[in-house]
Amino acid sequence: NTIPTYAAVILSIGLPLVVMWITEFAKKMYFAQYPKQRFTTRLELCGTKVASISPFVRNLYMLTVVFTYGYLTTWVLTEVAKNFVGELRPHFLAVCQPSLDCTTITSLEQYNSYQLPDLNYTCNNPDTTAVREARRSFFSGHTSPVWFGFGWLIMYIHVSWSWRHLGIVGHLLQTGIAVLGFYIGYTRISDFHHHWHDVLVGGIVGAIIAFVTFKFILNWRHYDPKFLPHTVSNRGKSSLTQSDTNHDYNQTANF
């Protein structure tokens, strides 16, 4: 494994969460310099006010919970596909060590005959866990969560970072994240752990779940970049327009 499983998990979970949390803290400190007029989100249970939550806490809660939900959804779909669809990995023969007589093989078709449903053979490898894992190629369990986490992070940077102040830095970071995601997918093919279509489908599934959860479940209209711990005036240091200051910050969370 060029990219071990634990490294893929750390990258797909840790990197997005760290970037999102650092960004939210940075926004909180940056906008604290403007004239302060505090506002909160009302948390209601059955029509009764339970607590008032600051937008900063609300943003962190929404981002973390919805991201976790999407990640778990990706993991469940990946495990379902691996267990019900399966498919042999490219290195299955090396892991299985089948009880076949290879001395009479004269063509590639005969060499691949171990894939025929009517051929009976026994795996000589005593490690049953490794043999079972070698039958779980479709689809890539590295690519799907990595592309969920990286896809989510790319969209978050796109809507949350201020391009006026950061210039091309945000675009470079997005490009670097995408390149890293492609590289992880390529290593699964070069390591002979997956076929190319396993990696392709895994990346598509992860990216689609990232888009759906970010666009529709998180609902970015309820997580507005202007929804900050303090309202921002168009006087003094502020460079925002008056339309920015008139943004509706009244939110109620009903359960």
- Could you tell me if 153 and 223 lie in one domain? yes
- Could you tell me if 239 and 177 lie in one domain? yes
Asked if residue 255 is part of any domain, the answer here is: no
- Could you tell me if 175 and 94 lie in one domain? no
The answer to whether the CB of 31 falls within 8 A of the CB of 204 is no
- Could you tell me if 28 and 124 lie in one domain? no
- Could you tell me if 96 and 180 lie in one domain? no
Q: Which of 52-56, 102-106, 194-198, 249-253 has the lowest mean pLDDT?
A: 249-253
Q: Which percentage of the chain shows pLDDT scores above 90?
A: 49
Its pTM stands at 0.79
Q: What CA dihedral angle connects 58, 64, 66 and 70, to 10 degrees?
A: 170
- Could you tell me if 103 and 165 lie in one domain? no
Q: Residue 114 belongs to what domain range?
A: 88-135
Predicted confidence (pLDDT) per residue in 123-159, tens digit: 899 999 999 999 999 999 999 999 999 999 999 998 8
- Could you tell me if 120 and 35 lie in one domain? no
Of 196, 214, 194, 200, the C-alpha closest to 151 is: 214
The residue to which tokens 């690519």 are assigned: 143
- Could you tell me if 116 and 154 lie in one domain? no
- Could you tell me if 129 and 236 lie in one domain? no
Question: Has residue 255 got a pLDDT over 60?
Answer: no
